[in-house]
A and B are shown apart, each in its own frame.
Chain A
Amino acid sequence: MKQLKFAYFPGCVSKGACKELYDSTAIVARLLGIELVELKNASCCGAGVIEEKNQKLADSLNARNLAMAESMGLPMLTHCSTCQGVFSKANKKLKENPDYRATINNIIGHDGYSYQGTTDVRHLLWVLAQDVGVDELKRRVVRPLKGLKLTAFYGCYLLRPSSTMKFENPHYPTSMEDIFTALGAEPIFYPGRLKCCGFPISMMNREASFRMAGGNLLEAKGLGADAMVTPCPLCHLNLDSRQPEVAGFLKQKIDLPVLHLSQLVALALGASPKELKMERHIVDTTPFLHKLGL
């Protein structure tokens, strides 16, 4: 495997309400020999929210972030579907429009930044599926996830719109499921894996947001899933942290553990549930871990 080194953009949620993701990604990187240089002074990507109100502000903030990675001569790594989608869009625009880039550089230039459009931004999922590769992952597995049935939950921003997100077909992605197979688990395909978790409208229409999360969780559960796995911490917030409320609202028992992709991969590579802070999840992960003999 070639040496992989990234300018690492952890994003707000992995430093806030999903710190277990921050720790797990560090462990996956260590176990696979991926070097991460954290962008400690990066700002929030704007999560698609800032750009709605002020496009130039969002692009300027992200040009500054991209310029930091560029000055290190490294591609950027994210582990959040939303951060990835936002960066992919901003980066495409800045790369394809030199005039607009110059305008934005003028704004970030006050503090000595300039983005030349040479940085690529990659999600951890893509790095695992492509740069590391499923064959190499398979070779590195020390704790096969045998007997586990897993459902993926991709997160909208990682798949759509396909005019920007070109890693895989938005209707037929398989990178998550390919990784499950490589780790020894059995993937379950279900329509909800491509849908919205409901997080973006949790403040605007809580009930609709819960119906979205609940619909996807119950669908996965109904197909016999032992856990749902997501490459997006925002999805994790709605699917795990709010799952008791979702279940209460729908008057249905759910109890489906939701893992971060990093946690799942690290487990198969030999990390302990304690290191991966599995006990921090709102939905109890012990039945899932028991299946692995942990």
Chain B
Amino acid sequence: MKVKLKIRKYDSKQDTLPMYTSYAVDAPETATLLDCLDTVKWHQDATLTYRRNCKNSICGSCAMNVNGHPVLACETHVKKELAISKRDELVIEPLGNMPVIRDLVVDMGPFWDALLAVEPWLQPDESKVPEKEYRQSKAEVRMLEKVSGCIMCGACFGACNGREAEEKFLGPAALARAWRYTMDSRDAKQKERVAMYNEPHGTWDCTHCFFCVEVCPVHVAPMDQILKLRKMAMDDGLTDNPGARHHIGFEKSIEKSGWLDEVKLPVVSIGLDVLEQLRMVPLGLRLLVKGKMPHIRHAPIEKISEVQDIYASLLKEAQQKKAQAREARP
């Protein structure tokens, strides 16, 4: 099988601009992308630079972009990728959101900085040190297993649309790990952690693009963990921020009318930030002039009582659960 690779080449020490170089590789039908890169390096261009180690989807070294999306080169079957892409060549580039050192090797510094910022280590209650070791039940371990399995390849970080637009955003891998420590039964800082991750450029900078979920080679589903942290923050009463106000206002809007009140929600979400409210005025005027402004009188759907019955039923259920929990307490 002939495989055409177009590889982005760039040496940060001497090049001003990257160049794309094409290579044709003779490869067996079962070849992975890493096999092809090795062939290029060993037989055609010894300068080609990339990271590799285990060849087994464990070390996370060989994450890179293929036709724009991150993969592990060692588990990407070239024949299959070509078939899915319906193209005759693969464009190979380094991961995004990190500076390139050389060719396909990026400086993972920003990734590690974000990871360290979430304090990814256990912080148990020092006053309750057990006599032997800290123990966890099987269920407690199992709950964390998937997220703990992160191989820190940087694929999610490289694909993160939120990080691309906001370099202070902690990003998917760090926040997934943040959830993992928040939920660890041996950790005593749950409330502090939830509050810390709720700060600007924490969980609320996630734009819900699902890229991290899609590209993670070990199915950590970072976005799902980020959304869990947001919920925990709201449940803890940390609601004085635009994200939480938006979510609470959204839920209330549907309870009131069955559908979203697009005029009111932005006002509610922004809250008391006068400057930010003023910034919305030109948008409102433009919508008004063009006849796009939703009606100021937001009429409910005819059968709104049915929607409200659902809300009431779930509220009752939540109250009963709370009462049961109170009774169960010694």
CB proximity of A72 to chain B, nearest CB, Å: 15
Say yes or no: A279-B293 contact (C-beta < 8 A), given A60-B314, A162-B214. no
Alpha-carbon distance A279/B289, docked complex (angstroms): 11
Q: Determine which residue in B162, B253, B314 has the highest number of CB atoms from chain A within 10 A of its CB, and name it.
A: B162
Q: Does A30 contact B (CB under 8 A)?
A: no
Please tell me if the beta carbons of A205 and B213 are within 8 angstroms of each other in the complex. no
CA of A222 to CA of B243, assembled, Å: 33
Known A-B contacts A203-B243, A208-B166; A280 and B291 likewise in contact (beta carbons under 8 Å): yes
Q: Is A13 in the interface zone, CB < 8 Å from B?
A: yes
- Given A53-B234, A169-B84, A203-B266, A110 contacting B309 (CB threshold 8 A): yes
Cβ B204 vs Cβ A18 within 8 A = no
Measured in the bound complex, the distance between the Cα atoms of B85 and A44 in whole Å is: 36
Total contacts A-B at CB 8 Å: 189
Query: How far is A171 from B69 in the complex, measured between Cα atoms in Å?
Result: 7
Inter-subunit contact B68/A203 (CB<8 Å): no
Q: How far is the CB of B90 from chain A (nearest CB, A)?
A: 12
Pick the contact of A43: B270, B276, B294, B301 (CB < 8 A).
B301
Residues of A within 8 A of B200 (CB): 205
In the bound complex, residues from chain B placing their C-beta under 8 Å from that of A15 are 259
Q: Determine whether B10 belongs to the interface, using a CB cutoff of 8 Å to chain A.
A: no
A117 within 8 A of B: no
Given A17-B262, A17-B294, A171-B69, the answer on whether A52 and B276 have CB atoms closer than 8 Å is no
Report the Cα distance A48→B314, complex, angstroms.
18
Give the number of residues in A that approach B within 8 Å (Cβ atoms). Answer: 68
Cβ-defined contact, B282 with A245, below 8 A: yes
Q: Give the shortest distance, in Å, between B292 (CB) and chain A (any CB).
A: 5
**Please, which residue of chain B has its CB at the minimum distance from the CB of A240?**
B292
Q: Does A16 contact B (CB under 8 A)?
A: yes
Indicate if B50 sits at the interface (CB-CB under 8 A).
Answer: no
What is the interface size of chain B, counting residues whose CB is below 8 A from a CB of the partner? Answer: 67
A212 cross-chain contacts in B, Cβ below 8 A: 161, 164-165, 207
Q: Which of B205, B234, B260, B287 contacts A201 (CB under 8 A)? A: B205
Q: Would you call B67 and A172 a contact (CB within 8 A)? A: yes
Which residue of B has the minimal Cβ distance to A157? B210
Interface residues in A175-200 (C-beta closer than 8 Å to B) = 191, 194-196, 198, 200
**A11 → B minimal CB distance (Å):** 8
A111 touches B207 (CB 8 A): no
Give, as a whole number of angstroms, the nearest-CB distance from A191 to chain B. 5
- A41 contacts the other chain (CB 8 A): yes
* Complex: A203 Cα to B262 Cα, angstroms: 13
Choose, from B37-45, B116-124, B134-142, B244-252, the stretch at the interface.
B244-252
In the bound complex, do residue B283 and residue A49 qualify as a contact, i.e. CB atoms below 8 Å apart? no
List the B residue with the shortest CB-CB distance to A51: B227
The answer to whether A43 and B209 touch across the interface, beta carbons within 8 angstroms, is no
User: How far in angstroms is the closest Cβ of chain B from A17?
Assistant: 5
Chain B residues whose C-beta falls within 8 Å of the C-beta of A107 in the assembled complex:
310, 313-314
Give every chain B residue within 8 A of A231 (Cβ-Cβ): none
Most chain A CB within a 10 A radius of its CB, from B86, B166, B259: B259
Query: Given the complex of chains A and B, what is the CA–CA distance between A48 and B309 in angstroms?
Result: 21
Closest to A18 in B: B292
What string of 1s and 0s marks CB contacts (under 8 Å) between B256-270 and chain A?
A: 001110100010011
Contact partners of A44 in chain B: CB under 8 A: 253-254, 258-260
Q: Given A111-B309, A205-B204, verify A47-B250 contact (CB < 8 Å).
A: yes
**Cα separation A49 to B251 with both chains bound (whole Å):** 8
Report which A residues bind B (CB closer than 8 A): 12-13, 15-20, 40-44, 46-50, 52-54, 56-57, 60-61, 64, 107-108, 110-111, 113, 156-157, 159-162, 169-172, 174, 191, 194-196, 198, 200-201, 203-209, 211-212, 215, 241-242, 244-245, 277, 279-282
* Extra contacts besides A44-B260, A61-B307, A64-B306 (4): CB < 8 Å: A20-B292, A60-B313, A110-B310, A156-B210
* Nearest 7 interchain pairs by C-beta: A160-B210, A16-B294, A196-B209, A208-B166, A12-B260, A208-B165, A211-B165
**What are 30 A-B pairs at a CB distance below 8 A?**
A13-B260, A13-B262, A16-B259, A41-B306, A42-B301, A44-B258, A44-B260, A49-B247, A50-B251, A60-B314, A156-B211, A160-B211, A160-B213, A171-B67, A171-B84, A172-B84, A172-B85, A191-B68, A201-B204, A201-B207, A203-B269, A205-B165, A206-B276, A208-B165, A209-B165, A212-B164, A277-B291, A279-B290, A280-B291, A280-B292
